Amino acid sequence: MTRLQTLPVSLQKSIQNRSLLKVISGLSNFNPESVFLISKAAGQGGADLLDIACEPKLVELAVEASNLPVCVSSVEPMLFPEAVKAGASIIEIGNFDSFYPDGRFFSADEVLSLAVESRRLLPDVVLSVTVPHVLPLDSQSQLALDLVDRGVDLIQTEGGTSSNPINPGTLGLIEKASPTLAATVVIASALKESHHDVPVICASGLSEVTVPMAISVGANGVGIGSAVNRLNTELAMVATVKGLRQALDSFKSVTTINK
C-alpha cells in the first residue's frame, strides 16, 4: 500500500479523477475564528481538502468545522508530528507566498533539506511540497524530480504573488494565474517523462476562470487561498467555494463526454 492509499477514499478519488479542490486558510493564519469560518465554508462549499497552519488545536477545530481531511503547512518539520497526532492527514512544506514580502526566499537545496527531514520524522504520512516559483522553470521541474526521489508524495506549484495583471476581467485573471500554470506544465511534463506517477496540485492566483486551465495542463487538482480566505463573511466564502467546485466539475464533465 502506498502512502496516498492511506488517505480517505473520497480524497483518493478526487486526486485520481483530477478534480481535487483544496481550500487554503494560510500558512501564517493562526486565528481560530478565521480558520473556523474558512473550514466551515470549505466543507459546505464542496471542497475535498483543507490546508491550514500547522497547529494541533487548529487541526481539531478545522476537522470539526469542515468534516474534511486536513493538510497542515509549515517550514518547520518538527511541528508536523503533533499536528498529525491531532488528526492531520497530510503534511506540507510551503506554500511560500507569505514569506516573499519580507524578503525570505527558499532555495532548492533548502526545500530538499526540509523535505528529507519531514520524511525522516514521519515516514508513513503523505508529504506534499511546494516548489518555489522564484526558481527558473527548469529548476522547478528538476526540484520536483529530486523531491519525488526523496519520498515526496504530492507536488504543489505556486506563483500568484509574482504576477501583476495589467488587464481587467477575464484576461487579467489569466495573467494572474500564468506563473503557476506555467510551473504546472513543466513539472507535470517532467514527472510524466520520468515515469513518476505523482499528483500535481496547481495553486496560487487561481480563480473560477483558471481552475479548468490548471487541470487541462496536467494538474490533479487546485489549491485556492486568497480567493476564499480574504473574504469577510461565511456566505461569501461558501459561494466562492461552490463556484470553484462547479467550475471544476463542469470542466471534468465536458472532458469526460469528449473522450
CA distance 197 to 18: 13
Q: Which of 48, 106, 101 is nearest to 74 (CA)?
A: 106
Q: What is the dihedral of CA 155, 93, 127, 88, to 10 degrees?
A: -130
Assigned domain for 3 exists: no
Confidence band, pLDDT 50/70/90 cuts, at residue 255: low
Q: Where are the beta strands (DSSP E) in the chain?
A: 20-24, 49-53, 70-74, 90-93, 126-130, 154-156, 200-203, 221-224
Question: Per the domain annotation, does 62 fall within a domain?
Answer: yes
In total, how many domains does the chain have? 1
In which domain, by residue range, is 200 found? Answer: 16-251
Question: What is the pLDDT confidence band of residue 253, given thresholds at 50, 70 and 90?
Answer: low
Q: Is the confidence at residue 50, as pLDDT, over 70?
A: yes
- Residue 110: CB atoms within 10 A of its CB come to 13
Residues 6+ apart with CB under 8 A from 104: 96
Instruction: Look at residue 4 and tell me if it is in a domain.
Output: no
**All residues at 6 or more sequence positions from 103 whose CB lies less than 8 Å from its CB, including other chains:** none
Indicate whether 51 belongs to any domain.
yes
pTM, full prediction = 0.94
Angle at 68 between CA 35 and CA 222, to 5 degrees: 80
Q: Could you tell me if residue 34 is inside a domain?
A: yes
**Predicted confidence band at 254 (pLDDT cuts at 50, 70, 90)?**
low
* pLDDT per residue as tens digits for the range 74-129: 999 999 999 999 999 999 999 888 888 888 999 999 999 999 999 999 999 999 99
The model's pLDDT over 133-176, given as tens digits with 9 standing for 90+, comes to 999 999 999 999 999 999 999 999 998 666 778 888 999 999 99
Supply the CATH number for residue 150's domain. Answer: 3.20.20.70
Residue indicated by cell numbers 501583476: 164
Cα gap 132→162, rounded to integer Å? 11
| 5, part of any domain | no
pLDDT in tens, 198-244: 999 999 999 999 999 999 999 999 999 999 999 999 999 999 999 99
